[in-house]
């Protein structure tokens, strides 16, 4: 090998580690499906398949006015949602900061703060005296306001309006909360303040996405999040949720929404090949060996995997392959290279020409950069834009970033994002197969459901903003379930899922009261 051949070999080898053959994808989907069935049958599996006690899906004709409280991110939100009954809604909201002191102090103090915020919201956004039907807040008695709580932490749900907090995540560690019913903690805080607010429903954000898409889009079979993390909730036949066989809720027949917690697929490391770049991320994460699937897919992690690839090329021996061996504080910092940088790089590459490609991205041929003056002028313009982004976002001096460096960073970004999107498609395909809407490629049998339009509601910055993410997810569906089914899959954003979904869930809860 000459030196330049060595460099090419290193890139080709990394590229190879991120590829899946169609046969491997089919095989992994079969294992994903198996994990679904195991999780539906029993408790305490990584693929938790949590029954949500949501037993109906809206169709857009629902009406009413509800409050929603959304806790799970940096900000807490209180919303008033008015469902107009014609697939449209109006939402008024206010965000409130949750300080570190509240996140880590006594649970009662945190829940008192939530109640105070709802109180402040009601004062600053008084309910309209009438929404046409004289029934603001759909109250049975004139002064009770119904509220749905979107709580994006692991809970063991036992009814629509109760669930035990299993663990805190995302920097929360409030004391005396774990093991308690989150709805009761909140209701007790409302009651301590003599507020006329009743929390009637507890909702996961994926379920919220499913319900809100069903309301605005006239039905929905899967709600999926591709944001900071990834997860999906889908509509399952109750008879398939075998672990509810001894629960009164399980014997009624009909359907129930199941929160898959699919981010935990591959926690056993037996399904997906991981690269040294994945392993480095996992080892330094706060939850090594957990959420393995999520770590290959979601916004919190893709930048870090890409950063690990880039640093390995900066450090390559005997000769640096990237940035002349230099780095910057941003590139050196764990989590310093955000997934939105990758998006920025790909957007710069596409520019106004917007090559409506599929996200496919071959390895850069390094020999082409031995004579940069001979590069195609369009390619050169694209690479110059990428170089400008790297200078701006990573803090490099212009002279430290060559066009070859720009080509390598763009390749590494789309390599990691493409694997993420293919695996996202694999999760969606698993739900299509599980619900009888598709048959896994190469297997016998026919789908039992053949709707003209299969509706999937999605939320999250990755699917909303990452160039070609949905195209690549669809490429995966074509491989796994065929083009005929893929064409019928309608993927739409479930905007305000946590607010509207909580309202819809509250509506369902009061119908069941």
Residue number, 147 or 462, with CB nearest to ligand ADP:
462
Is residue 461 near ligand ADP by the rule CB under 6 A? yes
Is residue 466 near ligand ADP by the rule CB under 6 A? yes
Residue among 212, 216, 228, 455 that touches ligand ADP (CB under 6 A): 228
Q: How far apart are CA 513 and CA 506, in angstroms?
A: 11
Provide, rounded to whole angstroms, the least separation between the CB of residue 342 and ligand ADP. 7
Residue number, 300 or 428, with CB nearest to ligand ADP:
300
Residue number, 236 or 338, with CB nearest to ligand ADP:
338
**Binding residues with ligand ADP: total (CB under 6 A):** 14
Residue among 7, 462, 491, 509 that touches ligand ADP (CB under 6 A): 462
Restricting to residues 54-93, which ones interact with ligand ADP according to CB under 6 A?
Answer: 73
Residue number, 343 or 508, with CB nearest to ligand ADP:
343
DSSP H helical segments within 351-402, as ranges?
377-394
Is residue 29 near ligand ADP by the rule CB under 6 A? no
Q: In 103-118, which positions are buried (b, 16+ CB within 10 angstroms) versus exposed (e)?
A: eeeebbebbbbbbebb
What SS3 state is found at 393? helix
Q: How far apart are CA 378 and CA 466, in angstroms?
A: 22
Maximum CA extent, the chain: 82
Provide, rounded to whole angstroms, the least separation between the CB of residue 419 and ligand ADP. 15
Is residue 413 near ligand ADP by the rule CB under 6 A? no
Residue among 46, 163, 208, 227 that touches ligand ADP (CB under 6 A): 227
Give the Å distances, CA to CA, from 66 to 29, 31, 212, 237, 246. Answer: 39, 41, 14, 28, 33
Is residue 455 near ligand ADP by the rule CB under 6 A? no
Residue number, 66 or 341, with CB nearest to ligand ADP:
341
Provide, rounded to whole angstroms, the least separation between the CB of residue 459 and ligand ADP. 7
Residue number, 263 or 364, with CB nearest to ligand ADP:
263
Provide, rounded to whole angstroms, the least separation between the CB of residue 413 and ligand ADP. 10
Provide, rounded to whole angstroms, the least separation between the CB of residue 259 and ligand ADP. 15
Provide, rounded to whole angstroms, the least separation between the CB of residue 296 and ligand ADP. 14
Per CB under 6 A, the segment of 133-141, 257-265, 335-343, 427-435 that binds ligand ADP is 335-343
Cβ-based neighbours of 283, under 8 Å, separated by 6 or more: none
Q: How far apart are CA 208 and CA 503, in angstroms?
A: 9
Residue 361 near residue 418, CB atoms below 8 Å: yes
Residue number, 35 or 346, with CB nearest to ligand ADP:
346
The residues with which 71 forms a beta bridge, in sequence order, are 151
Provide, rounded to whole angstroms, the least separation between the CB of residue 263 and ligand ADP. 12
Q: How far apart are CA 469 and CA 462, in angstroms?
A: 7
Provide, rounded to whole angstroms, the least separation between the CB of residue 39 and ligand ADP. 23
Cβ-based neighbours of 401, under 8 Å, separated by 6 or more: 323, 387, 390, 391
Per DSSP (E only), the strands in 270-382 are: none
Residue 199 near residue 186, CB atoms below 8 Å: yes
Q: What are the phi and psi torsion angles at 458 (to 5°)?
A: -125, 155
Is residue 338 near ligand ADP by the rule CB under 6 A? yes
Q: How far apart are CA 17 and CA 273, in angstroms?
A: 8
Residue among 187, 259, 339, 435 that touches ligand ADP (CB under 6 A): 339
Q: How far apart are CA 293 and CA 32, in angstroms?
A: 11
Q: Sign of torsion, CA 343 346 351 354?
A: negative
Is residue 340 near ligand ADP by the rule CB under 6 A? yes
Residue among 217, 299, 497, 501 that touches ligand ADP (CB under 6 A): 299
Per DSSP (E only), the strands in 187-227 are: 197-203, 222-226
Write the Ramachandran bin of 253: left for phi over 0, alpha for psi from -120 to 50, otherwise beta. left
Residue among 343, 435, 472, 508 that touches ligand ADP (CB under 6 A): 343
Is residue 465 near ligand ADP by the rule CB under 6 A? yes
Per CB under 6 A, the segment of 4-12, 376-384, 444-452, 454-462 that binds ligand ADP is 454-462
Provide, rounded to whole angstroms, the least separation between the CB of residue 226 and ligand ADP. 8
- Residues of this chain that interact with ligand ADP (CB under 6 A) are 73, 227-228, 299-300, 338-340, 343, 460-462, 465-466
């Amino acid at each position: 090998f000459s030196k330049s051949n060595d460099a090419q070999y290193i890139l080709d080898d990394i590229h190879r580690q991120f590829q899946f053959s169609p046969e491997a994808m089919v095989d992994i989907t079969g294992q994903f499906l198996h994990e679904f069935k195991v999780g539906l049958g029993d408790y305490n599996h990584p693929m938790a398949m949590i029954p949500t006690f949501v037993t109906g899906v809206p169709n857009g004709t629902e009406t009413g006015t509800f409050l929603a409280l959304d806790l799970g991110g940096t900000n807490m939100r209180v919303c008033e949602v008015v469902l107009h009954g014609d697939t449209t809604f109006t939402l008024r909201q206010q965000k409130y900061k949750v300080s570190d002191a509240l996140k880590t102090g006594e649970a009662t103090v945190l829940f008192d703060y939530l109640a105070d915020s709802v109180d402040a919201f009601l004062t600053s956004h008084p309910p309209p005296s009438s929404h046409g039907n004289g029934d603001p807040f759909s109250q049975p008695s004139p002064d009770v306001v119904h509220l749905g709580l979107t709580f994006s932490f692991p809970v063991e749900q036992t009814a629509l309006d109760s669930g035990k907090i299993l663990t805190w995540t995302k920097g929360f560690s409030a004391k005396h909360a774990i093991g308690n019913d989150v709805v009761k903690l909140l209701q007790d805080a409302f009651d301590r303040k003599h507020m006329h607010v009743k929390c009637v429903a507890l909702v996961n954000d994926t379920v919220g996405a499913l319900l809100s898409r069903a309301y605005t889009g006239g039905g929905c079979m899967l709600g999926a999040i591709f944001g900071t993390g990834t997860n999906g909730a889908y509509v399952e036949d109750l008879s398939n949720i075998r672990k509810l066989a001894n629960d009164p809720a399980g014997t009624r027949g009909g359907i129930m929404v199941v929160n898959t917690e699919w981010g935990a697929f591959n926690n056993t490391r037996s399904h997906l090949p991981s690269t040294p770049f994945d392993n480095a991320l996992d080892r330094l994460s706060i939850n090594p060996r957990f959420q393995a699937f999520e770590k290959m897919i979601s916004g919190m992690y893709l930048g870090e995997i890409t950063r690990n690839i880039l640093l390995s090329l900066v450090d390559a021996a005997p000769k640096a392959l990237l940035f002349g061996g230099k780095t910057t504080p941003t590139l050196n910092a764990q989590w310093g290279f955000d997934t939105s940088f990758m998006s920025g790089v790909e957007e710069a590459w596409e520019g106004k020409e917007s090559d409506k490609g599929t996200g496919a991205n071959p390895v850069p041929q390094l020999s082409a950069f031995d004579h940069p003056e001979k590069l195609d002028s369009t390619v050169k313009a694209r690479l110059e834009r990428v170089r400008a982004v790297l200078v701006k976002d990573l803090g490099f001096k212009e002279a430290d970033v060559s066009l070859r460096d720009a080509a390598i960073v763009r390749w590494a970004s789309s390599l990691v994002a493409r694997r993420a999107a293919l695996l996202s498609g694999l999760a969606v395909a698993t739900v299509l197969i599980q619900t009888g809407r598709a048959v896994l490629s190469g297997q016998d049998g026919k789908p039992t459901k053949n709707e003209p339009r299969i509706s999937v509601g999605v939320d999250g910055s990755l699917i909303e903003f990452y160039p070609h993410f949905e195209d690549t997810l669809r490429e995966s569906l074509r491989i796994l379930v065929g083009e005929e089914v893929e064409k019928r899959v309608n993927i739409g954003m479930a905007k305000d899922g946590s607010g509207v979904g909580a309202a819809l869930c509250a509506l369902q809860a009061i119908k069941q009261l």
